[in-house]
Every structure is written in C-alpha cells, then in structure tokens.
Structure 1
C-alpha cells in the first residue's frame, strides 16, 4: 500500500464496510509499524438494505473492539433516505452522499485530514471502463489517489485518499485467508443489478497491464487537453468567446473548456452528473447561427449565448417581472435586484412629469412590444441593433403613454436619445433614484 500519502502525525478516517477490501485496508494499517492506530478512526455505514448487513457491522465492531480502535457506526433510517431523495432518486448516489456526509461529520469532530477508502486496482479498472462507456468529461480516468468529495448539503469538501490502487482483489483475498482476517461478502455483488457489478464479473478476462497502459495514455492526453482548455480560458479572460470557440476542431477539447468554465464559476456540480448528450447540445447551440439562445441547465441556472458572449445566469434574472408605480406608491420599491426610491433635483437617476403616471417597470416582451423607437417596436429594434439578450431581459421604465423614461445601463448608450424624461423643470416633477 502507498502509505507515503499519509502524514504520520495527522488523524484520518477509515471507511470500513466489513467487506474484504476495507478489512484488508484496516488490518494493514493496524499492523503497519510506521503508523499509529490511535490516529485512525473507523467509520461504518449500515444501510439496512440487506438481511445480512447487521452481520457485516458486527464483524467490524468485533475487530475494532478487540484491538481498541475507535469506531463510529451510522445505521441509516428511512428518514435519512427521505432527506437525500430531495437531491437524487438514484440509490447509489443517495448511499454515497449519506456515506460521505457521515465521514465529513466525524472528520470535522476529530480534526482529521481526510478519509481512506479501500479502492483497489480492480476498482480502478472498473471505473475506467464505466467512464469509457459513458463517454463524458472526467477530471481523471480511473481512480485518482487523491480526490475530493463536495457536499451540497454542507457546502464543504472532504479529502479522499486511496492507498490501495496497486493491489488486485485476488491479492486481497489471499492476504485475508493467510492472516485469518474475518470479512463479509456483499450478496448483491454476484447479481448483475448495477453496471459496475456486470463489469466486475467480466473484468476477469481483461489483461490488467494492457488496461493500465491505456489508462495512463488517456490520462496523459487528458492532461494536455486540460492545459489547452486552461490556456483558452486565460486568453479569453475566463470567458467563452463564441467565434474562437467554434474554430476549435477538437470536440473533446470544447467539452473540457465548457466543463472548466463551469468549474471556474464554482458551478461544476451543475454539469458533472449530466448525460454526455448535454455537452454535445451546448456545443451544437454555440455553433448555431441564432444570436441569442438560452440553454437551461437546471431549475436555477441557464447558459446564455448572446451573439459572441456566453454567460451562466441565474434563472431569476431571466424571468419577466412587471411593477407599477403610481402617485401614491410607497417607496422604496424593488425590481429584482434593483431598489427604486425618490430622489431630489440634485440627486436622481431620472425625472418625470405628473402626467406621465402610472409608470411601468418591466422586462416583459408583452409590454416592450408596445414601445415604438424610430417607427419600430422595441422588441424588433433589439434585433435590428443586435442588443444582447441579457440587456433585453433587464429593466425598462415606461410612462403612461408607453414611452421610455429610463433603461438599464446595459443598453443606455444605444437608447438614450429616445428617453422621454427631458421635461422642463417645474414644481410637479418627480425624481427617482435607482441603486
């Protein structure tokens, strides 16, 4: 095992299920003269989904009790499953989230540096085969020795350490047999009910050394593409430029650029679990001749293409909202993120006359198409003047005659000459501030 990944003076969690892999990991750490077992805390999850899961738990408890190893056990309840089903309905995803959040909680309590997971060489190969089948974007082909679990619920990340990636499952079973270490067998592993289990039953026919060479080659190519993607985003000041993006003839590189763009915006979780077709769809839309396209990512965010620019936008910013201001409206009032309050003749964003009430603050096309600029409806004027979609979705303030009295700063320079708030100063003028 690669125990050089561990700091001898730090504490760690060991994820133990009672199966052969995790019992091998636990026993090797316990017998390693260079490691202090008191720096390790065993964590076990009993999902209570199998009739024999209590037997697995008992094996680990007895092992730790006999050797005076600190252990924490979480028995998953229906309430736990209900909590995580708000995020996913996939049992494997739910189980992983429950497991790692538990690890994180215990790690935080004891100031641990991470969690040791008993993934081995066979798991490494299985993961790579699944990645090839999915044909998506991955940070690393196979399993990485060091990775991080990001908890959406806790808003934190946990370091995951794998020190067994050079050891085969056959070597593990042989070690346990010769050292008389008790372990449990997960009965579902012999059933082809999950993709990984199907691969697990077929992997015995694969030449592991040839597969390792292939994985190393893929990771080498992947690192080169990641460097090229990083350079692209640096050259474009962290943005995706549609014109320069579309001249790239390597679709895998385009996917990695998109992936890293989301990652730079701390939103990689939005696409990390998407089907591979999703990235293909984004690339297709960026190549489209349509100048303004909204690609929905989830209920909260969309990817917006607006002429040559691409941005990740909160969907709230794209929703049509209309607010009315009358002469008796109480201020301040709010339009999305903007606050509108009364100003003075020395401090104001815009002014109107009394006969211009009521005012309409809106980004709704049903209102904007009533506005005429240069004999053209405003929504058609947008197209003619190549106004970006985000400028169209921001606020416009109309008077009672549907004439513009104020517009958002994204479009102000192009539209200012059409603004109808140049009344001569009289006592019946109203002044407004927008912040």
Structure 2
C-alpha cells in the first residue's frame, strides 16, 4: 500500500525522469524511502548522501556500514561526509541540532548543484510534521511556522510527509528492511525530543477518540492553504506599491500615498510581511512608521538593513553606506556609480555654458590632478575668504534629507580641498570660480 502511494505521488507530479539525491540517515524512515525509490527508479536516477555528525562517541559508524552495503549491492552512487559539529556549534554559538541542520543542508545543496540533481529527497513523515507544528507553536512564530513542512520546498522533496510512522515501520518489517534506531532520539535534551517522547504521546493517548492525529494533519493542510493565499495576496499588493532601484541607491521603496490608495485596514501587517524577511520581525515598527518624521529609521535585528522614512516614502537600504573613493588622474570620462557618469572637458570661456545649470564650470588653472571623488561625510567644509562654509548647513537650507545625503559625492583637488559637489545639488567652492580663464566643465545631470 505504501509503495503504491509513493509511486502514485511520483507519477502524479511527473517525476519519473528526474534525478534525486536521497538524504539517508539509517533510520527506519530513510531506509524505507531508499527501498521504495530503488524499486521505482533505476540507479542512474538516484544517489545517496549520508552524514556523520561525530556527536556520538562510538568509533564504529553502523549507519554508514548499513547504507554503504545497500548502495554497493544495488550500484547506487554514494556520498559520505563527516562534520565537526560540536566545534562548529561552539564557533557559531548555535545549538548542536541547528548546527547539524546547517552543515548537512549546505552539503546537500552543494552536491545538488555539482551533479545537477533535480531534488533533494528527505524522509520526514506525518509525525515529524506534527512535531514541527508543536515546536513552532511553543516558539514566537506566525502562520509561516504553523504551516509546518511542505512536500515541495526549494528543491526539497518529502514524499513520506503524509505517511504515519506505524505505516512506515509495518512496510519495513514486511519487506525485511534493516534499519538502526538513533538512541539520541530517546534523550529529552532537545525540544523536539520532549515533544516527541512526552507531549504528543500524552495527547494522543488521552484524546484518541477525537482522532487527534488526523485532525492536526488537516489543520496543517488548511494552514498551508491559508498561508499560500496570504502570500499571493501580499505579492499582489507588493507589485502595486514597491519600486526597486536599478542604481543601487536603495533596495526598494514604498510610496506612502500608493500604500494608502490600497484602501485596506491593515497597512501595518502588509508592511510587516514585506519587511519581515529582512530581519524586521517586530510589528510595532509598522504601527509607527507612517507617523514618524523624515530621517527617522529602524535597524533590522541583524543590523544589516535599515528602514528609513524619507518624506512620502518608506525606503529599505543597507545599514552600511557604500563608500566611494575614486581617483581622477586626468581629463576624460569616468563612471562614479551605476547611474552617474562625469565627462571632464577643457574649453575656452563660453557664456552660454557658464549660465547653463546642466554644467559645473571651474577655473582650470586652479585644478591640480589627480583629483578625487568621495562620499560627503558629516563635518565636510571649505574656506571662503577664511570663512568656514559647512556643507551640511547648505543641505539643511535646501531641505536635503538625511537619506539623500548618503548619495551626494564631492570632487576634491589633489590637496584634498573640496572643490564642489557633483550631483543632487550644486555647491561650488568660490575659490575655483574665475570665468576669465580656461574652464574645466562636466555634466551635472545623473542618468535615469
């Protein structure tokens, strides 16, 4: 019966011609998985990957011996990897379980990429799915966590996810499949083991007449459907309000008026779902963001990203400002950033060009190469008749926001004296203005 279910699943999803990497631990679930896939596919379509996390002190890897013999007998390609899991967990300051998960999945995906497998096949069963539901229920999670494990996700395939443990064990016994029980599963030192060994048996034994296992499974299926519906709805709204930046000034921005034009009653939740994957998991941020002043910002939990309010916009940027430091050795064309090119030319005095706002005109006799271009930084100034001209004061006078200041660049003489800004706003050190001499000019406009 179990074999027919899996074969029907394979045929229904048109997977017969795919290549699979099976993650086999040696436990009953994965050994049954290997047996069924070996019957359905020829050995060219399947390979096996087995990990040793070196957590148990036993020098003999019984799991390895069992899996290797089966692969050798059936001419199945076999990959084996040992990990220094305890050392990794100490360095990364992570639990043993999370460390093992990171190490094995990284290895699986490297194998997938190297050998062009279509899917990594995992042996999670119905009880694993219910355990994951309870684990996420006890943690700070939302619908994403409660929907538990899917059959398909990111090239991962779980054909046993709706199959009960009893059905798997019965199949193993009937087909004389050998397996090795992991004794670490009996130790209640991990949350999953406590749920597996204590909480779930207690619930099932005391509430058996309510068909609890089946009801929880149906609840998970319903949550997955609701999650998919909400995800599609959010993607629909995202297309209407998000503007991505091709020039790398920011990651994306949301026009507040476009957001309000959606005429929905849950702006905060929509923003929360949009920014959640960037490390903003406190919905209180999005209760405030529409009402804060320009320049105010919030940092993500990992400090990598920043949400900044800029006039009528909510903007996502990297927290670390991209530093520009470019040497200009001579007259010519130079790319500063993706959308900003400057073309320095030497010309004779020309009244039309001087009065054209598209150009910056400088006294060539005062220019000493090499020149430099860098970001504006707080505290920048130049002297005009011994008077200190602070550039930031000019920004404030012209209502340049703190966000816009991040992307204003300065041209410096070879002695690092500030000559002028080269974009966004036209600020020129008057010491470099003398229109009776030859002029060094460059285009002031940025490309769109």
TM class by smaller structure: 0.7 to 0.9
Which structure 1 residue ranges, 5 or more long, are not aligned? Answer: 149-158, 260-267, 272-276
- Contact 2:136/2:145, CA 8 A, preserved across alignment: no
Indicate which of 251, 255, 267 corresponds to 2:272: 255
**How many residues align structurally?**
394
Query: Once the 2 structures are TM-superposed, how far is the Cα of residue 163 of structure 1 from its aligned partner?
Result: 0.6
Aligned to 1:283, what secondary structure does the other structure show? helix
Indicate which of 93, 111, 125 corresponds to 1:120: 125
Q: Does 1:145 align with 2:151?
A: yes
Q: Does 1:231 align with 2:246?
A: no
Query: Once the 2 structures are TM-superposed, how far is the Cα of residue 16 of structure 1 from its aligned partner?
Result: 0.1
- Contact 2:421/2:428, CA 8 A, preserved across alignment: no
Q: Matches of 2:214 and 2:267 in 1, distance apart?
A: 29
Which structure 2 residue ranges, 5 or more long, are not aligned? Answer: 1-5, 205-211, 244-252
Q: Matches of 1:369 and 1:231 in 2, distance apart?
A: 50
Question: Could you list the per-position Cα deviations for residues 42-61 of structure 1 after superposition, in whole angstroms to 9, with x for gaps in the alignment?
Answer: 11111111134712222212
Residue aligning to 1:365: 378
Residue aligning to 1:351: 361
Question: Could you list the per-position Cα deviations for residues 124-166 of structure 1 after superposition, in whole angstroms to 9, with x for gaps in the alignment?
Answer: 2222333333224638811111111xxxxxxxxxx11111111
Q: Matches of 1:308 and 1:256 in 2, distance apart?
A: 20
Larger Rg: 2
**Cα distance 1:228–1:173, how it changes in 2: closer, same or farther (>3 A)?**
same
Q: Matches of 2:45 and 2:28 in 1, distance apart?
A: 22
Residue aligning to 2:175: 179
Length-normalised TM-score, structure 2: 0.72
**Cα distance 1:285–1:344, how it changes in 2: closer, same or farther (>3 A)?**
farther
Residue aligning to 1:36: 42
- Contact 2:378/2:392, CA 8 A, preserved across alignment: yes
**Cα distance 1:370–1:143, how it changes in 2: closer, same or farther (>3 A)?**
farther
Question: Could you list the per-position Cα deviations for residues 379-420 of structure 1 after superposition, in whole angstroms to 9, with x for gaps in the alignment?
Answer: 4665565533331122254889x99964354x33xxx49885
Q: Matches of 1:426 and 1:86 in 2, distance apart?
A: 66
Aligned to 1:184, what secondary structure does the other structure show? coil
Q: Does 1:286 align with 2:292?
A: no
Residue aligning to 1:60: 67
Aligned to 1:176, what secondary structure does the other structure show? helix
Query: Once the 2 structures are TM-superposed, how far is the Cα of residue 368 of structure 1 from its aligned partner?
Result: 5.8
Q: Matches of 1:220 and 1:9 in 2, distance apart?
A: 28
Q: Does 1:26 align with 2:22?
A: no
Indicate which of 178, 191, 200 corresponds to 1:203: 200
Indicate which of 19, 35, 51 corresponds to 2:57: 51
Equivalent residue runs for 1:212-361 within 5 Å = 212-238=217-243, 239-242=253-256, 245=259, 248-249=265-266, 251-259=268-276, 268=277, 270-271=278-279, 278-280=281-283, 282-284=285-287, 286-297=289-300, 298=302, 300-317=304-321, 330-331=329-330, 342-345=344-347, 349-353=359-363
Length-normalised TM-score, structure 1: 0.74
Aligned to 2:296, what secondary structure does the other structure show? strand
Aligned to 2:184, what secondary structure does the other structure show? helix
**Cα distance 1:249–1:64, how it changes in 2: closer, same or farther (>3 A)?**
same
Q: Matches of 2:291 and 2:383 in 1, distance apart?
A: 30
Query: Once the 2 structures are TM-superposed, how far is the Cα of residue 370 of structure 1 from its aligned partner?
Result: 9.2
